Amino acid sequence: MGAIAPIWCRQFDEREAVARATALFWRRGYNATSVRDLGAELHLTPSSLYRTFEDKHTLFLRALDHHRATESAQARERLPTTGQPVRDALRDWLGWLVGCTADAEPGPGCLVVNTVTELGTTDTQVSARTEAAFEVTRSALRSLLHEGRRTGELPTDLDLDAAVELLFTTVLGLRVRERAGHDPQRLATAIDFAIHGLGPAPAEPIHRQRRPH
C-alpha cells in the first residue's frame, strides 16, 4: 500500500490558517505570539508550520496582507460616498470603528495601529504594509470629503489634504483609546468635535435641494 498523507495535509486550508494566525496576532501582538502559540492555533507542528510559511515573520506579513484585504477593505466599504449626508456617514463610520454604535462589537483595537505601536518603523517590510493599510483609510476619507465639497455639504474652500490628515490622525487616536478601554461616550464626543472642525454646513446642499415638479 502507498503511504497515507498526514491528516493535516489532506485537510489543511492555507487561507484559513492565515486568517486564524491574523486573529491570534491581533489578540496578542507580534512579540507575544510564539511559534508554539501559532502551531497550537493552526494545529500544526513547528516543522509543518516552517515548511508552509517559512517562519513567524513571513506568516505575520501574510497576516497583515490578509488584514488589509479584509478588515481594511470592509472599513472602506462602510464609508459610503453617496446616499447619506456626508457628516452623518462620517460620524457613523468613526463610531463603528471604535464601538460607539449599536452594531459594533468591542475588539482588541486595530491590528495595524497595534503593530505600529509595538514595532514602530524598525521593520521595513512591516512598515510598507501598515502604510498601505493606512492609505486605504486616507483614500476613503478623501473620497467622502471630496463628494461633500462637490455637493455643497462641506465648505467649497475646505482644504482636503489638511482635513484628511486631521481625520486620519483622529482615527488613529480613537483606535488607541479604544484599545485602552476608554468610555465610548467620550470617544463619541471627540468624533463630534472633529466633524465640527470641517466647518459650517451650507444652508442647502446641492444634492438636497428640491427639484421643481
Q: Give 3's pLDDT tier (boundaries 50, 70, 90).
A: very low
The pLDDT tens digits of the residues spanning 35-61 come to 999 999 999 988 989 999 999 999 999
Q: Residue 204's pLDDT is what?
A: 59
Report the alpha-carbon angle 178-98-70, nearest 5: 115
Give the H/E segment covering residue 99. none
Q: Tell me which of 63-77, 139-153, 158-172 is least confident.
A: 63-77
pTM: 0.80
Mean pLDDT of all residues belonging to the chain: 85
Would you kindly state where each structural domain of the chain is located, as residue ranges?
11-66, 78-200
Q: Would you say the CATH fold of 78-200 matches that of 11-66?
A: no
Q: How far is 17 from 44, CA to CA, in rounded Å?
A: 10
78-200: CATH superfamily: Tetracycline Repressor, domain 2 (1.10.357.10)
Q: How far is 15 from 115, CA to CA, in rounded Å?
A: 21
Considering the chain, what percentage of its residues have pLDDT values greater than 90? 57
Q: Give 1's pLDDT tier (boundaries 50, 70, 90).
A: very low
CATH number of 11-66: 1.10.10.60
